[in-house]
């Protein structure tokens, strides 16, 4: 009989083989119980909604000319805490400030110099 490993190596190799076997069996059992989730993005599929909560569907030309409401779309669908988000520092930044004349001339839609309501 050929001797491959000495006694010192057996003390190291046997526990390492057991650990490898246990981790492989644990990985297979984890996937057998709950398969890995497939994510398609941050949010689940959702409809855009207007201020009254009506669905906006440009594919079917339903309310396609009406602006969407983030509060109705994201806040009421249960995905995001709209009230908490709108009280955040960056959301409120610049709310009580007026843009400079230069900023008004360049970007007529801008209502403040800060990030109030998001970045433009």
Q: Which domain holds residue 21?
A: 1-36
Question: Regarding predicted confidence, which is higher, 100 or 89?
Answer: 100
pLDDT above 70 as % of the chain: 58
- What is the pTM (predicted TM-score) of this model? 0.46
Bridge partners (DSSP) listed for residue 48: 56
How far apart are alpha carbons 58 and 45 in whole angstroms?
15
Shared-domain flag, residues 75 and 54 = yes
Pair (104, 79) in one structural domain: no
Domain count, the chain: 3
* Partner residues linked to 103 by β-bridges: none
**pLDDT at site 66:** 92
What whole-number distance in Å separates Cα of residue 29 and Cα of residue 113? 55
| Residues 93, 106 within the same domain | yes
Summarised one tens digit per residue, pLDDT across range 33-83 is: 555 555 556 777 788 999 999 999 999 999 999 999 988 988 876 778 888
């Amino acid at each position: 009989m050929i001797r491959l490993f000495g006694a010192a190596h057996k003390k190291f190799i046997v526990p390492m083989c057991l650990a490898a076997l246990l981790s492989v069996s644990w990985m297979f059992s984890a996937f057998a119980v709950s398969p890995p989730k497939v994510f398609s993005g941050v949010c689940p599929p959702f409809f855009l909604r207007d201020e009254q909560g009506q669905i906006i569907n440009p594919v079917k030309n339903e309310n396609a000319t009406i602006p969407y409401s983030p509060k109705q779309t994201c806040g009421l669908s249960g995905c995001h805490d709209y009230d908490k988000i709108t009280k955040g520092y960056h959301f409120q930044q610049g709310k009580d400030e007026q843009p400079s004349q230069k900023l008004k001339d360049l970007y007529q839609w801008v209502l403040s110099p800060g990030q109030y309501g998001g970045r433009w």
